[in-house]
Structure 1
């Protein structure tokens, strides 16, 4: 018997018996995706960690406004300008702000950075037993496994007190770069046939410096490269309580489970192409466009191909222009604005201005094409994923690490929300699902 063929038959049976008509969701006023009918999110919690703002409500109508992102009340533009004007790196300061709710002075920042520095190395035999012995083709899955495995190396893993959870979070924030870098090196060696490079974390170096140090065979990097990667880490560190991976952190932790289980769930969420995995999808889409559009500066030709993409006739058939549009942002994504400026600088430095101009042209044309094809008045703009892949590529970072880098950054926000949930939650998050099947009589075997 061919057991493999059973999966196809079983799949058809599953689809047949799990197909709920779309009008049922309307009938019962279901908030699909935890969204209201006007596209706004259903309010399920309160937070002081991050604030994402993209519209105002005027007489029950959603009015788009320029996007705003605040970390602990501080505007992301001000935060970035602050450390860049002083020619400092900002990620460690950003982590401190998110965790503790206020900006550190120099002594506090130095002490916190030293704490992170002291926790960067993975436990003894961890790399060999948990990473090298089971190399994964996907670094996000390897990262999740490494986080779950960390439970076994923790002498007090189930204590969910604030102090113990903070200790666990700081360890994960410090160790994510090594977990991701070694996961990538294992994949590159065992699956791609390249030489294996395992560099120990560099003592006294920042998070951004350590990432470049560990993923590159020669450990080399420039100050400019470090500053750009540090900026990307800051921009990805937090995005409110409602984004899918952060909400996953809060949902799972509300059950009272351990830190490692909650963070692993967040990694699984971030991996998805509708969330953190979108940056890879953007670059794959751009390669497809570059291969099929002859004149990259011809608005008509580019527009025609975008129409094909939206009509599921080109690229991966998803009907999506990756990197354009956002669940919350309307007129603009502030992270995208910052990254676009940096992408332009990088394009000039690396001689990739023609490709950068194609990005900007697609950014310009997409809202108009989207409105025409979808017959929609929804306001869309380029989001952070649209330019982040371009920046990563310009830095020579392998595409397998695009989403893991997002996780290395977002662990800061996840940790802050995890602690906030522990302090203020108190109840397991348990929304309702209505059963619309009704009672079904049991049929004896002889009558089936």
Structure 2
């Protein structure tokens, strides 16, 4: 009897289970060998310091300072082209104008724009907020995915087919492609979301971007059926985009950008690879995990204000008895920061304001309680080599939920910001390094004599 297509492609059969066991057995490597051969797992040492793999002018993640000749942890700081992120955010908030376009200009071109340069750049992005004719019908509406990161990545790869100079890696052409993708990304994201909802039987509405609106305003306008949003909502989403734009050359998706760029491939393939990296729950997908963790926590706590109940739940998380049983408190800890994540610090001030205006004071208080208790509990349960603090993902999920953004767009919004950093790093790699990135892996398998098929 012939098997149906679904069973062939999607069932995990006993035969696959048996072969998977071989994969697990033959791929296992003794963890002690990493120490023996001084392999930096994750390209970081035990203190979280990354292996130096490149040079960059774009951003700096600062989590330590030199005191008496020794490196000691300090309050975290993030710099874009030498400017402290706290100063940049304060600057555009005080001036009461959106920060996304101004910060995009800074990361791409190295200097803060003048008023005229900013206006010209805003106009340049606005005129590029369009997709090829019939792209929505022929690409986005065809086989829409429940996962928006996959949907957007497919759209990015399809845009290659519409570009007559897709493989030209000269700086002017790559800059043109990057500006197009930065401007088009909100449409790929929002239209992909609407297409999937239409597939599920909901109404379809596709709104063209408004050239008079900022990137954040356009996202909210195109997303909502009534096109309405408040000034506070647009301001906080704009700030979120700025905070997520870049985070040094070593974060997973940006390093992916450098690696793939070094192979000489096209811009669309490079950004698609970065998207695939960002999708992972250990990277851009972490904010969804935080949100779902808190949803589970609230279901299991009878009193959110009870410290003992909160502590018991956090201990259950670490002991793999709660939520996804991975032994993690999502949103706590960072590969570089050990005392504080400056992005989380900035976010937190506005989260409290937004929570109050939206009537979510109790929920915010729970988040704040977990932020204070988790580091102590992690320190009691685990041997840690550096401090543990709330990272930007800890609060971003709460912000997005209070903005009534669908959870399926949490990571894409991260990507809508980070595509600016990827673009800057791709341009930097093309400008300075003409060598493919190829680190070494130590082989462990012993050499063996080949046996003929009849003798095995």
* TM-score (ref. length: structure 1): 0.98
In structure 2, how many angstroms separate the alpha carbons of the residues matched to 1:69 and 1:447?
62
Shift in Å, 1:193: 2.6
Whether 1:261 and 2:269 are equivalent positions in the alignment is yes
Whether 1:309 and 2:327 are equivalent positions in the alignment is no
Shift in Å, 1:62: 4.9
Which of 127, 135, 142 is 1:118 aligned to? 127
- What is residue 296 of structure 1 aligned with on the other side? 304
| Superposition map of 1:205-224 within 5 A | 205-224=213-232
Bigger mean CA offset, 53-62 vs 379-388? 53-62
* TM-score (ref. length: structure 2): 0.96
Cα deviation, 1:159-206, whole Å, max 9, x if unaligned, reads 10100000000000000000000111111221x332112111112211
Bigger mean CA offset, 202-211 vs 272-281? 202-211
Which of 14, 19, 22 is 2:31 aligned to? 22
Cα deviation, 1:119-145, whole Å, max 9, x if unaligned, reads 111111111111101200100001111
Shift in Å, 1:59: 7.8
How has the CA–CA distance of structure 1 residues 431 and 58 changed in structure 2, closer, same or farther, with 3 Å as cutoff? farther
Shift in Å, 1:18: 1.0
- What is residue 150 of structure 2 aligned with on the other side? 141
Bigger mean CA offset, 271-280 vs 223-232? 223-232
Shift in Å, 1:28: 1.2
In structure 2, how many angstroms separate the alpha carbons of the residues matched to 1:377 and 1:329?
12
- What is residue 79 of structure 1 aligned with on the other side? 88
Which of 168, 173, 184 is 1:175 aligned to? 184
| Superposition map of 1:348-363 within 5 A | 348-363=356-371
Shift in Å, 1:444: 1.7
SS in 2 for 1:194: coil
| Superposition map of 1:127-166 within 5 A | 127-166=136-175
Whether 1:416 and 2:446 are equivalent positions in the alignment is no
Bigger mean CA offset, 54-63 vs 173-182? 54-63
- What is residue 389 of structure 1 aligned with on the other side? 397
In structure 2, how many angstroms separate the alpha carbons of the residues matched to 1:104 and 1:291?
48
Bigger mean CA offset, 193-202 vs 205-214? 193-202
In structure 1, how many angstroms separate the alpha carbons of the residues matched to 2:26 and 2:227?
54
Contact 1:371–1:378 (CA under 8 A) maintained in structure 2? no
Cα deviation, 1:315-361, whole Å, max 9, x if unaligned, reads 10111100010000110000000111111001110110000000000
Cα deviation, 1:12-44, whole Å, max 9, x if unaligned, reads 111111111111211211111111233210001
In structure 1, how many angstroms separate the alpha carbons of the residues matched to 2:114 and 2:373?
45
- What is residue 355 of structure 2 aligned with on the other side? 347
- What is residue 37 of structure 1 aligned with on the other side? 46
- What is residue 245 of structure 1 aligned with on the other side? 253
Shift in Å, 1:6: 2.1
Contact 1:38–1:62 (CA under 8 A) maintained in structure 2? no
SS in 1 for 2:27: coil
- What is residue 7 of structure 1 aligned with on the other side? 16
- What is residue 234 of structure 1 aligned with on the other side? 242
- What is residue 204 of structure 1 aligned with on the other side? 212
Whether 1:46 and 2:81 are equivalent positions in the alignment is no
In structure 2, how many angstroms separate the alpha carbons of the residues matched to 1:57 and 1:278?
31
| Superposition map of 1:264-283 within 5 A | 264-283=272-291
SS in 2 for 1:66: strand
In structure 2, how many angstroms separate the alpha carbons of the residues matched to 1:62 and 1:436?
35
In structure 2, how many angstroms separate the alpha carbons of the residues matched to 1:62 and 1:275?
26
How has the CA–CA distance of structure 1 residues 447 and 62 changed in structure 2, closer, same or farther, with 3 Å as cutoff? farther
In structure 2, how many angstroms separate the alpha carbons of the residues matched to 1:425 and 1:289?
48
Structure 1: gaps (5+ residues): none
Shift in Å, 1:60: 8.5
Cα deviation, 1:41-61, whole Å, max 9, x if unaligned, reads 000100000100112356886
Cα deviation, 1:256-276, whole Å, max 9, x if unaligned, reads 000011100000000000000
In structure 2, how many angstroms separate the alpha carbons of the residues matched to 1:62 and 1:444?
58
In structure 1, how many angstroms separate the alpha carbons of the residues matched to 2:373 and 2:155?
42
- What is residue 101 of structure 1 aligned with on the other side? 110
In structure 2, how many angstroms separate the alpha carbons of the residues matched to 1:94 and 1:24?
44
Cα deviation, 1:284-343, whole Å, max 9, x if unaligned, reads 000011011111111121011100001111010111100010000110000000111111
- What is residue 97 of structure 2 aligned with on the other side? 88
